Amino acid sequence: MGQEEIRRHNVGTLLRHVHLSGSLSRAALAERMRLNRSTIMALTAELTAAGLVREERPTETGRAGRPSLVVRPDSSRVYVLAFDVAVDRLVAARVALGGIMLDRREAVRPRAGADLDCVVKVLAQFGQQLHQAAPPGSVCVGVGASYCGMIRPGDGMVRFGPDMGWVDQAFGTELGRRLDLGLPVPVGNEAHLGALAEQQRGAGLGLRNLIYLHGDVGVGGGIIVGGKLLDGDSGYGCELGHMVVNPYNGRPCGCGSRGCLEAEVGERALLDAARRPAEWFGRDAVRAVVDDADRGDPVAQGALRHVGDWLGIGVANLCNLFNPGMVIFGGMLREMYPGAAAQVRARIATNALPVARERVRLRISALGDDATLVGASELGFSELLADPLGVLARTAR
């Protein structure tokens, strides 16, 4: 590694620590980055001059000696735009360093029939409104988007968006063109971004190994291994919804296979088990089952147990394969999980090896439906955090 590369790396790493922690003393930064205090001071000075962090005297610690200055992200100089295309809504937000949501717009999305043009139009309009409402002098340094489908790494192409019927739609490119901010729009799969968000700011704070299951119509996954999102050879790993759990009596799955986890635990599986009419769907229909179960309705309770058993087999398999520190249930699974937890735990106890399960914690998403949006904002910040001063020099022209 050359000198310039190391400096860039260090500046970015310092800003990342401050961005994710909210505030850190110089001493804590020195310890985390294994650098001496004078180097931290120099790096901080660069970031302060660029308007990305502020240094403050800490509130009284009561300890003797001169307290270490606290470094905080400056939330006024730069921001990113984050977008979320979920199965039932379109969201846009302006987000500051430190992950602070400054402003947002949201619209209900009809479940089917939304073409690329229509979705991009709504989001671009939201984006421009947010951009125009930003205070003078603040700069948009990045954009990130979450999409409820399969995304080609690198160019924001939607390979497959099952619920909208999208195939090979240039979503990222098109949104970037319509926003007209001169910035690329990286796009991530909603479950991938949800996993990263929960790890960076949610239930799995700081964990190096966690699995996030995002349920809605289907079941997506984001799997963090050794601190990094598992991508696989071409960026299409983490498809835990298509793990076959019921090969011979399984329900048909949208992928053409049978007995996939998502066929057994997705929205339709739950609604069918609860004997709801075939034309009912969506989050409200799922909530109604959960509410009925809470009120003691045996059919609804049985449906949650039934689905919980399959979910448990899936999660047990994931424990054996990944030995995760935490499994997080997001999207519609966040609402369903409490009523199915006993079955999930029982399956893990039966089907996962003791060493693979003994430390795993099961949690619902802490960020709720914003997990994917938060993940999109972090995608927007990723270039800035890789090279803060370089990005600022480019965008502030």
Q: How far is the CB of 87 from its own copies (least distance, A)?
A: 19
Contact between 345 and its own copies per CB under 8 A: no
Contact between 189 and its own copies per CB under 8 A: no
Q: How far is the CB of 42 from its own copies (least distance, A)?
A: 14
Residues in the chain: 397
- Of the residues 101, 170, 255, 366, which one makes contact with its own copies according to CB under 8 A: 255
Contact between 16 and its own copies per CB under 8 A: no
Number of neighbouring beta carbons within 10 Å of residue 56: 11
Question: Closer CB to its own copies, residue 182 or residue 232?
Answer: 232
Region of residue 275 (left: phi > 0; alpha: psi -120 to 50; beta: else) = left
CA–CA separation, 316 vs 308, rounded Å? 12
Contact between 251 and its own copies per CB under 8 A: no
CA–CA separation, 372 vs 228, rounded Å? 17
**DSSP-assigned states of every residue in 92-126:** EEEEETTTEEEEEEEEE--SS---HHHHHHHHHHH
- Of the residues 27, 28, 35, 116, which one makes contact with its own copies according to CB under 8 A: 35
- Are the CB atoms for 186 and 173 separated by under 8 Å? no
Binders of its own copies among residues 60 to 99 (CB under 8 A) are none
The answer for residues whose C-beta is within 8 angstroms of residue 213's C-beta and 6 or more apart is 191, 219, 220, 221, 240, 315, 327, 328, 329, 330, 333
Instruction: Map residues 212-241 to x or -, x wherever contact with its own copies holds by CB under 8 A.
Output: ---------x-x-xx-x-xxxxxxxxxxx-
> What tokens does 221 get?
């996954």
Q: How far is the CB of 35 from its own copies (least distance, A)?
A: 7
Contact between 358 and its own copies per CB under 8 A: yes
Closest CA to 98 of 125, 71, 121, 118: 71
What is the 3-state composition of the chain as percent helix, strand, coil, each rounded to the nearest 5?
A: 45, 20, 30
Q: How far is the CB of 254 from its own copies (least distance, A)?
A: 11
Q: Which stretch binds its own copies (CB under 8 A): 163-171, 186-194, 203-211, 290-298?
A: 203-211
Residues in the site for its own copies, rule: CB under 8 A?
Answer: 1-2, 5-6, 10, 34-35, 150, 159-160, 207-209, 221, 223, 225-226, 228, 230-240, 242-249, 255-257, 260, 313, 316-317, 320-325, 350-353, 355-356, 358-360
